[in-house]
Amino acid sequence: MNLKTRKRLSLLILVVGMPLYVVAAVTLVNWMDARFGRQPILVEVAIYVVLGILWILPFKRVFSGVGRGE
């Protein structure tokens, strides 16, 4: 995949995919609150940190080298 395509795809992922992922993560935590009760704040922070790292793993190759010049 050339650099121009990766830049466009990464922009699409950040503008469209990232907000959708944030909504899904918050919905998951809210579902957990409704199902299991309110978790301690450190557990919620750990969940958000893990989800924040997990979203990038499938797109690691797309984002690599995007900031470099041609």
Residue 67 binned pLDDT confidence (cut-offs 50, 70, 90) = confident
Angle between helix axes 41-54 and 18-36 (nearest 10 degrees) is: 150
Domain coordinates of the chain in residue numbers? Answer: 3-62
Computed from CA positions of residues 44, 49, 54, 56, in that sequence, does the dihedral angle turn out positive or negative?
positive
The predicted model scores a pTM of 0.78
- The pLDDT of 13-17, averaged and rounded, is 93
Q: Looking at this protein, which amino acid is placed at residue 13? A: I
Helix (H, G, I), strand (E, B) or coil at 38: coil
- The pLDDT of 8-18, averaged and rounded, is 93
Computed from CA positions of residues 16, 18, 19, 24, in that sequence, does the dihedral angle turn out positive or negative?
positive
- The pLDDT of 10-30, averaged and rounded, is 93
Please check the confidence at residue 24 and state whether its pLDDT lies above 90.
Answer: yes
User: In this structure, are residues 62 and 7 in contact, taking their beta carbons and an 8 Å threshold?
Assistant: no
pLDDT score of 60: 87
